Amino acid sequence: MKWVHKILVIASIAFFLNGCVKKEILDDINLIEAIGFDYAGDGNTSGTILYPIYQPDQPPENKTLTAKALIKKSILQDIQLQAANPIVTGSMEAVLFAKELATKEGVLELIDAFQRDPGVGSGLYLAVVDGEARELMDGNYGVRGNATFISNLLENNIENEDLPKTNLQKFLFSYYQEGQTPFMPQLKKISDEKIELNGVCFFKHGKVVETISSDQMFFFRLLVDKYSNGLHRVKIKDGEAAVRSIRSTHNFDLSKRSPLEITVKIKVQGIVNEYTGNEVKPEQIKQLENAFGEEIKKQSQELVDIFKEQKIDPVGFGHFVKTRKRKYDLSKWLESDLKNLTVKVVPDVTITEAGVIE
Amino acid sequence: MSVSIPENKKISPFLVFFVVQKMQFGIGILGFQRIIAKTAGYDAWISIILAGIAVHIVLWALFKMLETVNGDMISIHTFVFGKIVSKIFGLFFILYYLLLTVTVIRTYVEIVQVWMFTDLTTFWFSLIFLIVVVYIIFGGFRTVTGMAFFGIVLPFYVLALFLFTLPYAEFDNLLPILDHSISDILLGSKNMSLTVLGFESLLIFYPFIKDQKKSKKWAHLAVFSTTMIYVYLAILTFAYFPENQLQKNIWPTLTMWKIIMMPFVERFEYIGIANWCLIILPNASIALWCSSRIAKRLFSIKQRTTVPILAFICLIATSLLFTRKQVNLLSDLVGQIGFYLNFFYFPLLLVATLIAKKVKKNEVGS
């Protein structure tokens, strides 16, 4: 091709492509960072969006907008009526559901929108709010904006503490998996500057049916996550110790086929963080290990009993059975078969270190 | 009978690897997991391996035919059926490759429209894209091969990115192995046809290979490597999605990228999809080149005249497809045609070729 042709082609490409798609300039859009849904009575749902307004040399200002609607999908449009710039969902970090809404109406219809939207990442955090979502979002937490605070709070608790791995993908995974039901962490606003992670909510058909406290969360995590960590307090007669589990693994085994029995081997490797007694001798360590093991056994059994009573299966025992038994029919799993399942927990606790003090 | 191509327009035998692999690896890979899991469930990775073996056999058949007549597809047809019938078949193949080009471009545009820019017009994008394709083809088959080379080497890192799903992978999903009947698994293999087709373009570019005997192993290696890539991706997908969720996602391969989070880029799919353009560019180029090459063999028209005309036809056809349903219909159609062509017609053609050879030999002998 002659050079004239080349220039012509390049010029025309540049010309044509310019007008092809809509532009979105960062300063002229409202980037939603979190969205919260509340129950508004009579089948109505109200939605609140949170977006930051960035200012020079200052923490971002948290701005919220709220609208009420009967059809859940139209909440965003209704909010749009109050916003000066188009609302964009691309950098959403957290979605919050008020507990009342999650118990009465369910969350599935609302989650569908996030699953469908190609702009929303699967790493999005979902959480239930003990109280009103709007109220929680109106606070002022930390210097990086509320949404970042919430997502960092959850992330930190997953990485270092007791909260089992959770996000949109995890929720959808357990929702769609046959023989498993989903769960979400629960947040509570304590004051205008504080939020607390105070438990885990279990869902059945998209509605909250049961909540466990943050103390039980540690044991739930041992059951549900392949690898977990966290901190737990153990009492023995000489004193009390805080044992941090460094690396815990679990292993499922279908030990009996009929009636079904699953043996869960939980291996905990921990260190002693704090001890109120006088000395940590091998003897005390042994005692701690045993006491911890007993507690794991007892608490996990309690959790399993809760699951059976509520006919939920957040751990996915049903799916596990299906992978070990050919052509296993899971259609009656939650209603009847789960009840007849025996779960045997076999803990194996090793305490490796007790800090720098002997 | 044999077709002579000047030495300076031929390609080295190892480059066959890139052309064959490139033709297979393109659009199908974005959504094949769902289609094969429909019947075979999570045993579908076995279907992929079976489909791969079938492709190896067909590839062997193709080479056998090509060696017998020492030419390309048109020579085979002329050898077996005579001149007039071979022209009719040739016309069909022109259409087939046009359809392939349209499918590749339209599917890609659809993805851009759904994932990135809702208001992108199919026409303008296809126009620009086809201008590039025509420009590549004007450079001759060697340039097309070069593009195929870059289309594999440059975006190769994309494959590693699927490992981001590993923290969420539950490989237990694949158990128990062989929970489905053999017929279900075979049906899954059949549904792979859109994903594996493309290797039959060998029938057209065979005369362009320098040392044809040596190219055999490269072609087989290409098929083997694509099969492995498909198995790799299928296993990661099956571990990442429960079966019911997989059935809800039209492009599971892209949905998997939604989990990637990096501090400097919020949504990775945007980079991935933009990169996919480079992956499909050689696909469209090879398909359109094949189409125009057959036209040249049939009517002795210069490729410089046919390529723009064929590209124009593609442009119109692409712009006329509007909805997901239509696009889906098109890819199903191409998949079906590809299946019967590759796994029924070509083996039969081999038998016919061998018989024709015997008969002709006898005639000469008597």
Q: What is the DSSP string of A223-244?
A: HH-SEEEEEEEEEETTEEEEEE
Question: Is residue B366 scored above 60 in pLDDT?
Answer: no
What is the pLDDT confidence band of residue A201, given thresholds at 50, 70 and 90?
A: very high
B303/chain A closest Cα distance in angstroms = 16
> Could A176 and B243 be called an inter-chain contact, meaning their C-beta atoms sit closer than 8 Å?
yes
* Region A204-223 average pLDDT: 89
Question: Nearest-CA residue of chain B relative to A91?
Answer: B266
Q: How far apart are CA A64 and CA A48, in angstroms?
A: 6
Let me know: does B41 contact B173? Beta carbons within 8 Å: no
The structure tokens listed for A215 are 């103390």
Q: What pLDDT was estimated at residue B105?
A: 92
Q: Does B131 touch chain A (CB under 8 A)?
A: yes
Burial class (CB in 10 A: 0-12, 13-18, 19+), A304: buried
Q: Does A17 touch chain B (CB under 8 A)?
A: yes
* Region A68-97 average pLDDT: 78
Task: Give me the residues of A, 81-140, that contact B with CB < 8 A.
Answer: 90-91, 115, 118-123
Q: Compare A8 and B234 and report the one with higher pLDDT.
A: B234
Residue B109 in domain: yes
Q: Does B164 touch chain A (CB under 8 A)?
A: no
- The DSSP 8-state label assigned to residue A105 in this structure reads T
* Region B33-40 average pLDDT: 89
Query: What total number of domains does chain B contain?
Result: 1
> Could B179 and A326 be called an inter-chain contact, meaning their C-beta atoms sit closer than 8 Å?
yes
* Cβ contacts of A135 within 8 Å, gap of 6 or more: A189
Q: Where are the alpha helices (DSSP H) in A52-97?
A: 75-80
Name the nearest CA neighbour of B303 among B96, B126, B143. Answer: B143
> Could B266 and A323 be called an inter-chain contact, meaning their C-beta atoms sit closer than 8 Å?
no
Query: What ipTM describes this predicted complex?
Result: 0.84
Q: Compare B102 and A118 and report the one with higher pLDDT.
A: B102
In this structure, the strands spanning A261-275 and A342-353 are parallel
Angle at A91 between CA B112 and CA A113, to 5 degrees: 70
A239/chain B closest Cα distance in angstroms = 38
Question: Is residue A23 scored above 80 in pLDDT?
Answer: no
pLDDT digit string, tens, across residues A246-280: 888 888 888 888 788 899 998 888 888 777 777 77
Count interface pairs A-B at CB distance under 8 A: 78
Question: Is residue A159 scored above 90 in pLDDT?
Answer: no
> Could B258 and A123 be called an inter-chain contact, meaning their C-beta atoms sit closer than 8 Å?
yes
Task: Give me the residues of B, 69-88, that contact A with CB < 8 A.
Answer: none
The contacts found for A194-202 with CB under 8 angstroms, 24 or more apart, are A194/A139, A194/A141, A195/A136, A195/A139, A195/A141, A195/A149, A195/A150, A195/A153, A197/A153, A197/A154, A197/A157, A197/A163, A198/A130, A199/A130, A200/A163, A200/A164, A201/A99, A201/A102, A201/A128, A202/A307, A202/A310, A202/A312, A202/A314
Question: Nearest-CA residue of chain A relative to B242?
Answer: A177
In this structure, the strands spanning A183-191 and A194-204 are antiparallel
Residue B56 in domain: yes
Q: Does A173 touch chain B (CB under 8 A)?
A: yes
Question: Is residue A36 scored above 50 in pLDDT?
Answer: yes
Q: Compare A11 and B290 and report the one with higher pLDDT.
A: B290
Q: What pLDDT was estimated at residue A358?
A: 63
Q: What residues in A contact B269, CB-CB < 8 Å?
A: 118
Question: Is residue A19 scored above 60 in pLDDT?
Answer: no
Beta bridge partners of A188: A130, A196
Burial class (CB in 10 A: 0-12, 13-18, 19+), A42: exposed
CATH number of the domain within which B280 lies: 1.20.1740.10
Q: What residues in A contact B114, CB-CB < 8 Å?
A: 118
pLDDT mean across residues, chain A: 84
Q: What residues in B contact A17, CB-CB < 8 Å?
A: 124, 128
Which of B240, B245, B268, B315 is the best residue to mutate to test the A interface, defined by the most A CB atoms within 10 Å of its own CB? B245
Q: What residues in A contact B116, CB-CB < 8 Å?
A: 118
* Region B315-340 average pLDDT: 89
Q: What residues in A contact B175, CB-CB < 8 Å?
A: 323-324
Residue B2 in domain: no
Count the neighbouring beta carbons within 10 Å of the beta carbon of residue A268: 25
Q: Is the dihedral of CA B337, B338, B342, B343 positive or negative?
A: negative
What is the pLDDT confidence band of residue A76, given thresholds at 50, 70 and 90?
A: confident
In CATH, which of 3.40.50.2300, 1.10.10.10, 3.30.300.210, 3.40.50.1100 is domain A215-358? 3.30.300.210
Q: Compare A66 and B295 and report the one with higher pLDDT.
A: B295
Q: What pLDDT was estimated at residue A325?
A: 84
Q: Does A21 touch chain B (CB under 8 A)?
A: yes
Domain range enclosing B319 = 7-352
> Could A323 and B128 be called an inter-chain contact, meaning their C-beta atoms sit closer than 8 Å?
no
Q: What pLDDT was estimated at residue B285?
A: 93
A241/chain B closest Cα distance in angstroms = 32
Q: Compare A72 and B276 and report the one with higher pLDDT.
A: B276
pLDDT digit string, tens, across residues B153-178: 888 888 888 898 998 888 888 888 88
Q: How far apart are CA A280 and CA A308, in angstroms?
A: 39
Which of A20, A108, A125, A320 is the best residue to mutate to test the B interface, defined by the most B CB atoms within 10 Å of its own CB? A20
Q: Compare B123 and A15 and report the one with higher pLDDT.
A: B123
pLDDT digit string, tens, across residues B242-301: 988 999 888 999 899 888 887 777 778 888 888 899 899 999 999 999 999 999 988 888
pLDDT digit string, tens, across residues A162-182: 889 999 999 999 999 888 999
* From-to residues of CATH 3.30.300.210 in chain A: 215-358
What is the pLDDT confidence band of residue B94, given thresholds at 50, 70 and 90?
A: very high
Q: How far apart are CA B289 and CA B138, in angstroms?
A: 9
Q: What residues in B contact A123, CB-CB < 8 Å?
A: 258-259, 261
Residue B362 in domain: no
Which of B258, B265, B268, B277 is the best residue to mutate to test the A interface, defined by the most A CB atoms within 10 Å of its own CB? B258
Q: Does B175 touch chain A (CB under 8 A)?
A: yes
> Could B242 and A119 be called an inter-chain contact, meaning their C-beta atoms sit closer than 8 Å?
no
Q: Does B176 touch chain A (CB under 8 A)?
A: yes
> Could A118 and B245 be called an inter-chain contact, meaning their C-beta atoms sit closer than 8 Å?
no
* Region A7-15 average pLDDT: 74
> Could A170 and B241 be called an inter-chain contact, meaning their C-beta atoms sit closer than 8 Å?
no
> Could B259 and A17 be called an inter-chain contact, meaning their C-beta atoms sit closer than 8 Å?
no
What is the pLDDT confidence band of residue B1, given thresholds at 50, 70 and 90?
A: very low
Question: Nearest-CA residue of chain A relative to B266?
Answer: A91
Question: Nearest-CA residue of chain A relative to B121?
Answer: A20
> Could B124 and A17 be called an inter-chain contact, meaning their C-beta atoms sit closer than 8 Å?
yes
> Could A22 and B124 be called an inter-chain contact, meaning their C-beta atoms sit closer than 8 Å?
no
Let me know: does A245 contact A349? Beta carbons within 8 Å: no
Angle at B154 between CA B151 and CA B159, to 5 degrees: 95
Q: What residues in B contact A90, CB-CB < 8 Å?
A: 266-267
Q: What residues in B contact A21, CB-CB < 8 Å?
A: 117, 119-120
> Could A91 and B258 be called an inter-chain contact, meaning their C-beta atoms sit closer than 8 Å?
no
B119/chain A closest Cα distance in angstroms = 6
Q: How far apart are CA B93 and CA B90, in angstroms?
A: 5
Question: Nearest-CA residue of chain B relative to A121?
Answer: B258
Q: What residues in A contact B248, CB-CB < 8 Å?
A: 115, 176
Rounded to 10 degrees, the C-alpha dihedral B163/B165/B167/B168 comes to -150
> Could B267 and A119 be called an inter-chain contact, meaning their C-beta atoms sit closer than 8 Å?
yes
What is the pLDDT confidence band of residue B5, given thresholds at 50, 70 and 90?
A: confident
> Could A91 and B266 be called an inter-chain contact, meaning their C-beta atoms sit closer than 8 Å?
yes
